[in-house]
Structures are given as C-alpha cells and as structure tokens.
Amino acid sequence: MKIKIVNTSKHPLPEYKTALSAGMDLTANLTEAVELKPLERRLIPTGLSIELPAGYEAQVRPRSGMALKHGITCLNSPGTIDADYRGEIGVILANVSNEAFTIEDGERIAQLVVAKHETIQWEFAEELSSTERGEGGFGSTGK
C-alpha cells in the first residue's frame, strides 16, 4: 500500500528497520535541542504530514529503548492519527525519570504503526449477553 507523505524536515522518511517490523521510527524535527526535565512533557514536531486512506489510522507509540534506558515515553499512547487529519505529526513526549533528558534534532523519538480499523454503528439494547467473565475487569482474571 502507498500512503502520501509530505516531509518538510531535513531527515529521511520513516522506514521499517527489519522485514518484520510493525512500526517505523519517527524523528524529531528541531531547530535546537529540547531538554525534558523530570515529569515534563513537550510536543515534539516531526516535519511529517500524511494522507491515510479511509479505514486506516496511524498510531504513535513509545520507543522501548528510550523508555527503558531513559524513562522517556509518549503520552496519549497510542496516539491516533485519523484518516482525515492533514496536519503535522507531533509526538507528546514525557520524562518519567528523575533526570533531565535532551532531545536532539534527528533523534528517533517514537514509532508509527499504520493499521486498519472498523467503523461501527451502535445498536441500543436493554442488556448484554452473559459471559463467564461478566463485569469483572481491572485484574479480575488474576495476575
């Protein structure tokens, strides 16, 4: 599948790093480095805009290495880019560590996963069918 992309950054387009990768790395498009202090969050631009076909979304997700090594994650994760959005992709990064972290221009900051989705219609009902689990949630099935 081909998806239209506008790249106003000076960085290469996102790409799959291995044949079986689900996500492509997004890079920071900055005029100067950004320091994220502990518990601070910032919207980091990418310089990319995309045109998704109907029935698809793009999900912005954290990079596992940044999360483990530095405590840097994406808020609103996964962030959804809808098929009718034409603006620049921004990544909401948060520092959940105790140390400041500097984001440099061109640094890989998040992953982008493109996925199909369904559009549904609600069917009003007085009750739902019963299941073994029922209303149990939030850890009700054990560890």
Is there a contact between 92 and 40 (Cβ–Cβ < 8 Å)?
Answer: no
- Residue 46 has a pLDDT of 98
- DSSP one-letter code for 137: -
Residue 90 has which token pair?
């921004």
Q: Is the whole-model pTM more than 0.85? A: yes
Using the predicted structure, report yes or no on whether residue 134 has a pLDDT greater than 90. Answer: no
Question: What does each C-alpha distance from 132 to 48, 76, 136, 141 come to in angstroms?
Answer: 46, 32, 9, 11
* Domain annotation for the chain: domains and CATH numbers: 21-116 (2.70.40.10)
- Residue keyed to tokens 């009003």: 124
pLDDT digits (tens, 9 = 90+) for 90-124: 999 999 999 999 999 999 999 999 999 999 999 99
Q: Which residues contact 130 (CB under 8 A, 6 or more apart)?
A: none
